[in-house]
Structure 1
């Protein structure tokens, strides 16, 4: 079962559902949250909660163990590997098998609040929650004696529920998944660089 980063009650309150939430509504909200989390994990390329990892052949630097996953939360164990070099006055450097937890904490870390904001707002717009009170058309006028009821024209969720742009989460995106464009520096006037088009070079 997927661990939820935001609660069903958080989403329900924003959509105008009464709390505590009825079981049928809770299931739909949970599905909406899970779908939002799956989309965010795919974008970031990493879990939303710290995970446990085991690495072999880890080297130690003056600043500590050199580990693949960051940020490191806790080193659970570091065991010297039997066939590793002796280091110090021998040849090479010793290596270790390290078991540790690492990763972002999107659930409770104050710095990851933008991730929770994106998840809640995205879940609020899920099609399964289209019947939410906050997403319904509002009556702007009403008549009696069998006359028609007039609704306002706004049928989309209020702007308050609109999710922020996914780019607002990019600071937590793995570097390999970032869209990177090398900076283009204009050539100073009169400077010719051989082999660079547009500078007069050949």
Structure 2
């Protein structure tokens, strides 16, 4: 998986020394991958542009009417062999190959997506031993052998991940989550078309 945030960016925010050791790099990259997969699942679309091919597409005066947006570039448009331009059947159809989607790794408008991935990766359990996530000692006594920690055992507020709803601007519209009922209907209640 191509990451939209580098391991070094996350490591700097956690106070880890850069360049990263292989074991630390693997843990940080796993945290970034988990955060990125969560964001992809929420948005219902990939975070990087993807190449698509669609058949049976007709050209219009405003361009191609394609299923995926935003279209970055059209790679090729080849006339379909079964579609010949005749007066009785209208315009011919094409097989269009194009690249579409958001580019969350470089587009300045998608900076909030990168921020969400970085902040969420910083809170991953694999990175709990990072210097900025360690609990701070508020007081210690030698003879009584007691240690009092700061009440904030989590990272500072600056590292707190933003709410996932802040990324809804890029979420596919009309995307709903539906789960089939797991238990039968109560006695006396019937649902049309149901068991």
1:85 to partner: Cα distance = 4.2
Is 1:106 the counterpart of 2:104 in the alignment? yes
**Matched pairs, number:** 177
What is the 5 A alignment of 1:9-24? Answer: 9-24=8-23
What is the 5 A alignment of 1:1-202? Answer: 2-86=1-85, 89-143=87-141, 147-177=145-175
CA RMSD of aligned residues (A): 1.7
Q: Secondary structure at the residue paired with 2:174?
A: helix
Between structure 1 and structure 2, the one with the greater Rg is 1
Q: Distance in 2 between matches of 1:151 and 1:168?
A: 33
1:152 to partner: Cα distance = 1.4
1:90 to partner: Cα distance = 4.5
Q: Distance in 2 between matches of 1:90 and 1:104?
A: 39
1:147 to partner: Cα distance = 4.6
What are the Cα deviations for residues 42-61 of structure 1, in whole angstroms up to 9, with x where unaligned?
A: 01111110001110000111
What are the Cα deviations for residues 21-67 of structure 1, in whole angstroms up to 9, with x where unaligned?
A: 12111111110000011101101111110001110000111111111
Q: Distance in 2 between matches of 1:104 and 1:178?
A: 20
Tell me the TM-score normalised to structure 1 length: 0.82
1:8 to partner: Cα distance = 0.3
Structure 1 runs (4+) greater than 6 angstroms displaced: none
Q: Secondary structure at the residue paired with 2:10?
A: helix
1:85–1:92 contact (8 Å) kept in structure 2: no
Which consecutive residues of structure 1, in runs of 5 or more, have no partner in the other structure? 180-202
| Alpha-carbon spacing, 1:113–1:38, altered in 2? closer, same or farther (3 Å) | same
Tell me the TM-score normalised to structure 2 length: 0.85
1:175 to partner: Cα distance = 1.2
1:59–1:93 contact (8 Å) kept in structure 2: yes
Q: Distance in 2 between matches of 1:178 and 1:10?
A: 33
Which consecutive residues of structure 2, in runs of 5 or more, have no partner in the other structure? 178-195
